[in-house]
Amino acid sequence: MSIAQNLLQIKSQLPNSVTLVAVSKTKPVSDLMEAYTAGQLIFGENKIQEMTEKWEQMPKEIQWHMIGHVQTNKVKYMAEYVSLIHGVDSLKLLQEINKQAQKYNRVIDCLLQMYIANEETKFGLNESELLEIISSNEFKELKNIRIVGLMGMASFTNDQNQIEAEFQHLKALFDNINSNEISNLKLDILSMGMSGDYELAISCGSNMVRIGSSIFGTRN
């Protein structure tokens, strides 16, 4: 099947409440344009330089999501245009995003990345680190960022029960933050689920999924 057919098939299966981020990292602009022509407006990239090159070449209505681990010294290259930064896992990074957003008179939307997996290789905050950040005075001073949700990646395992438990843990944390008056945060986005586990993630409450290989085929 073509990229457009893959995309339309996946979209037909997603609830209306779920946002699809087409993970286009390493894929050429021609592939992204095929998805764009089929109606996809949100693309996820994990390297800022590659994302910036695609942003420069492609229609400006496209929303670019940074889904990879972000180094503070690279934030300046995407601050002009990025729509959503998924993997924010420190106050230091939030402060840098805020500083770079000010230069363009923008407010940049961010997701806080939570550590839910049973793996050393994943990044993210634990619950106490999250609460510490959002209740700090330094956080309250940041006027050019907006925390709009949480993101997490489940363990890379075939154990569906473990994956489900990790997704449910993140959903409970999401609900807890939204019902907790200290934070003054109103979270809208719960981003969890990728090509292999997005249906399970949606059943656990995800409203943003990141799908790459099922749309574009396997990566080189």
- The burial of 141, by beta-carbon neighbours within 10 Å (0-12 exposed, 13-18 middle, 19 or more buried), is given as exposed
Q: What is the DSSP string of 168-185?
A: HHHHHHHHHHHH-TTT--
Per-residue pLDDT tens digits for 182-213: 556 889 999 999 988 999 999 999 999 999 99
Q: What pLDDT is attached to residue 220?
A: 60
Residue 170 reports pLDDT greater than 90: yes
**Joined tokens for residue 96:** 């840098």
**Joined tokens for residue 169:** 């843990």
d(CA 191, CA 9): 21
Q: What pLDDT is attached to residue 42?
A: 98
CATH number for region 3-216: 3.20.20.10
Distances (CA, A) of 177 to 50, 128, 131, 207: 34, 12, 9, 16
Per-residue pLDDT, averaged over 127-148, amounts to 94
Torsion of CA 131, 161, 8, 44, to 10 degrees: 40
Distances (CA, A) of 44 to 1, 31, 62, 181, 196: 21, 13, 11, 32, 16
Q: What pLDDT is attached to residue 193?
A: 95
Q: What pLDDT is attached to residue 123?
A: 79
The domains of the chain are located at: 3-216
d(CA 20, CA 65): 11
d(CA 61, CA 128): 38
Lowest pLDDT segment from 92-96, 151-155, 177-181: 177-181
101 pLDDT band, cuts 50/70/90, is very high
CA 7 to chain centre: 19
With pLDDT > 70 as the criterion, what percentage of the chain qualifies? Answer: 96
With both helix axes pointing from N to C terminus, report the angle between 48-57 and 29-37 in degrees, rounded to the nearest 10: 60
Lowest pLDDT segment from 35-49, 84-98, 121-135, 188-202: 121-135
122 pLDDT band, cuts 50/70/90, is low
Residue 150 reports pLDDT greater than 60: yes
What is the residue-averaged pLDDT of the chain? 94
Residues shown for the chain: 220
